[in-house]
Every structure is written in structure tokens, then in C-alpha cells.
Amino acid sequence: MDDPVPPSRSKEPRLPGNTSVEEKGNAEEGLALPVPSTLSWPLTGQMIRVSFGSSAAADLSNAPTHPRSVAIFDADRFTMQLLVRRWRPGDVFQPLGMDGRRKKLQDYFANIKLPRELRSRIPLIVAPEGILWVTGLRPDHRFFATTSTKRTVVAKLLDCVPPKGD
């Protein structure tokens, strides 16, 4: 029999057009993140919202130039089997702005001088094809939307306090 929803979860705001995701699994294995939905990241209490965008041109023109709390992805470059999880040794990504060079996540964290105790708390949005976004820090350029993108997925990190570094 399923456990009842804890009181803290039942008070979570329901956002129009989105479903709220109950955390099944854990931060190590990953929490499913269907599009559209909103998820509460248990390690920080931050909310992660994903939705389909209106158009790449409109989404990109309204996006910040250096995304910390919003990332816009090309929905045709990955499958929609998204997970939110914390980093694992050996994780690699291709940070936006690094000309497609691969970077181990551990090295990236060290380069931006992110304290070790914070590294395991940062949520990653991951598809089977790779890490889409080190939330609050840097998206992977392979999945980031361009002006030629036809369908977008917009990811937002809510209640975001930007980490030091980067």
C-alpha cells in the first residue's frame, strides 16, 4: 500500500498547466521529470519546472543571456525521459560556451570553485542522451536551443540562489 502524501507535499502549489511530481525514488537514482511538470528537489527545496515553449525565437529572445535560473532546450535533440538527479563520479557534459569540449563534472565544479559540500546537492536534469543542465550553473550546448530550433522545452529553477563561481 502506498504511503499517504506527507503534509509538506500536500501544501505544494499546483501550477496551471503543470502536474506536480511526487518524489518516487531518490536523488541518487533520479526522480522522473515528465514534461510538463514541477518537481521539488529534496536536497535543497528548490522547485524545478519544465514545460513546452511557444517558439524558439520567442523563448530565446526572452531568455537571460547567461542562464542561471532558466534554460531552453531543443526538444528534438533528446528523448523526453527526463530525470533529476545529483552528480556521479565520471559524469561528463559539454558546457555551453566551451566550443563543444567535454568536461568532467568534477573538474567543472573544481574550476568554478564550488565547495565540495555543495556539489552533491545541485540537481542535474538528465536525459538518456546526457546531462542537459547543471541547474543554476550551465546547460549542455548539445541540447540548448538555437534560432533554428522548432520545438523547445523550457526548464526553470525556482527559488534559486545562484551558487558562487562560474
3-state secondary structure of 150: coil
Tens-digit pLDDT profile for residues 81-115: 999 999 999 999 999 999 899 999 999 999 999 99
Report the alpha-carbon angle 140-135-147, nearest 5: 45
Tens-digit pLDDT profile for residues 120-132: 999 999 999 999 9
Task: Establish if 80 belongs to a structural domain.
Answer: yes
Task: Establish if 135 belongs to a structural domain.
Answer: yes
Task: Establish if 108 belongs to a structural domain.
Answer: yes
Task: Establish if 50 belongs to a structural domain.
Answer: yes
Task: Establish if 3 belongs to a structural domain.
Answer: no
Report whether pLDDT(41) > 60.
yes
Q: What is the predicted pLDDT for the residue at 102?
A: 97
Report whether pLDDT(144) > 70.
yes
DSSP state letter for 95:
B
Query: Taking all residues of the chain, what is their mean pLDDT, rounded to a whole number?
Result: 82
3-state secondary structure of 139: strand
Task: Establish if 14 belongs to a structural domain.
Answer: no
- Domain count of the fold of the chain: 1
Task: Establish if 165 belongs to a structural domain.
Answer: no
Report whether pLDDT(1) > 50.
no
What residues make up the domain containing 148? 30-158
39, containing H or E segment: strand 37-40
